[in-house]
Amino acid sequence: MTMNRNVFTLLIFSLFSIVLQAQEITVPQTQRPLITKRTASWCPFCGGWGWTFFRDVLDDNSGKAVFFANHYDGIHTTPTTLTLSANFGGVSQPVFFLNNTNQNVSSGATATARTNIQNQVNTAWATTPVVQSGIRAIHNSAAQTLNVTAKSRFFQSASGEYYLGIYLVFKEFVGFQSPIGNNAEHKEMLRSHLTANAFGEQIANGAVAAGVETEVSGQISIAGLDPTKLRVVTIIWKKEGTTYRVTNANETDDFLAPSSANDLWAAQQQLKIFPNIITESARIELQITESSLPWRMELVNTSGQVMETIFQGTLAGGTHTFSVERGTRPAGLYFVRLSNGLRSTSQRVVLR
């Protein structure tokens, strides 16, 4: 089974109380590298020595590193995998990266590479992070969605352009892989991002002091999927030129139920867009429980470029309506992004 983020139909996007979430989400003071396998479904080496090596590295570094099996070609690609593959670069396959660095693994030197990667992970694990994120993921079984909020915290002062991305990963996925066949059990397969931009929302630009915290939210449909085989991953990127470089990573497969004791749904605020497949125009309804910080609502493309500012200003508690026109924009996937200066979240729409 493959899943393309273009087909996700999301009707309601929930925003949670800023104050309550600050109390509930703990940001661990950990430094976790991202280990990425550049792979393709048709690649025999990816299903051969690369298959074994990826599993060995998983076993060696579980709990200290985060993993992406990133399909840059073949039947398991998605817009997310293609975008991240282009960012990491590399030629041929399989190629293994630790953060953005190619580990130059070859079939005849896997033992040495395995040791080198484990040493790098252990060194990172013993390092105090500049910034890390904590994750809260709520599984709404009735709506078949995952609602995720990630909170970043800078543990050291820093300077630069930082982004926080949220991703859905299949811990286990049965599908074709050469030369194994149709029943190959893929591990840690990257599938989709939950924010408007594949690299997430900006959390800092310029000098940032230690102690600064920012929240980013996202929602995704998991209809037809087994939540026990899913994982949510966060990556904090630092943009340097046109390249996004991994600064830190985190993950969770501990999904809370809406009825849990720590549930924040009582403080929810709702954003509804109908229709979310836009041929002429769409109505946007925003319901907030109380007056809050100034809001900014924008229509953005898949690169995060602002196409239209729908609203900017303060809002009282209650229901507010807005509209967005199809206009002459190219058909395709877009996002309505909502932010209040501290957090941002987005909902997918399709212009047809």
Tell me, yes or no, whether 204 and 307 share the same domain. no
Separation CA 72–CA 37 (nearest Å): 10
Contact between 347 and 331 under an 8 Å Cβ cutoff? The reply is no
Q: What is the mean pLDDT of the chain?
A: 86
Could you tell me the CATH number of the domain that includes residue 39? 3.40.30.10
Does residue 177 belong to any structural domain of this protein?
yes
Residues 70 and 39 occupy one common structural domain: yes
Q: Which of 260, 289, 320 is the last residue in one of the domains?
A: 260
Residue 15 has pLDDT above 80, yes or no: no
Same domain membership, residue 327 and residue 217: no
Q: Is residue 205 part of a domain?
A: yes
Burial of 72 (0-12, 13-18, 19+ CB in 10 A): buried
What is the model's pLDDT at position 19? Answer: 32
Amino acid at 135: I
Is 210's pLDDT higher than 80? yes
pTM: 0.75
Q: With respect to residue 149, please indicate whether it lies within any of the assigned structural domains.
A: no
Of 301, 304, 270, 266, nearest in space to 284 by CA? 270
Q: Could you say which of 240, 260, 280 is where a domain stops?
A: 260
DSSP labels, 157-173: -EEEEEEEEEEEEEEEE
Instruction: Using the predicted structure, report yes or no on whether residue 280 has a pLDDT greater than 70.
Output: yes
Residue 45 dihedral angles phi and psi, to the nearest 5°: -70, -35
**Does the residue 129 lie in any domain?**
yes
Q: Among 78, 106, 96, which residue's Cα sits nearest to residue 36? A: 96
Indicate whether 17 belongs to any domain.
no
Range of the domain at 305: 268-351
Q: Are residues 233 and 297 in the same domain?
A: no
Name the residue among 51, 56, 40 with its Cα closest to residue 93.
Answer: 40
Together in a domain, 298 and 226: no
User: What 8-state DSSP symbol labels residue 5?
Assistant: G
List, for residues 93-118, the tens digit of each pLDDT value. Answer: 999 999 999 999 999 999 999 999 99
Q: Give the total number of structural domains in the chain.
A: 2
**pLDDT tier for residue 6 given thresholds of 50, 70 and 90:** very low
Question: Do residues 246 and 273 both lie within one domain?
Answer: no
**Residues 196 and 164 placed together within one structural domain of the fold:** yes
**Both 168 and 239 in a single domain?**
yes
Question: Side chain identity at 116, as an amino acid letter?
Answer: N
3 state DSSP class of 27: coil
Q: What is the pLDDT of residues 149-177, one digit of tens each?
A: 899 999 999 999 999 999 999 999 999 99
CA distance 2 to 78: 9
Distance (Å, whole) CA 263 – CA 151: 17
| Residue range 141-155, pLDDT digits in tens | 877 889 898 999 999
Q: Say if residue 312 is in the same domain as residue 212.
A: no
Q: Does residue 252 sit within a domain?
A: yes
Distances (CA, A) of 107 to 45, 73, 95: 9, 21, 11
Q: How far is 321 from 22, CA to CA, in rounded Å?
A: 28
Looking at the fold, whether 164 and 304 belong to one and the same domain comes out as no
Does 14 map to a domain?
no
Q: Are residues 44 and 88 in the same domain?
A: yes
Q: Which of 260, 277, 311 is the last residue of a domain?
A: 260
Based on the fold, state whether residues 63 and 187 are members of the same structural domain: yes
Whole-angstrom distance, CA of residue 325 vs CA of residue 73: 35
Residue 345: its H or E element:
strand 343-351
Tell me the CATH number at 334.
2.60.40.1930
Predicted confidence band of residue 292 (pLDDT cuts 50, 70, 90): low
Is residue 344 domain-resident? yes
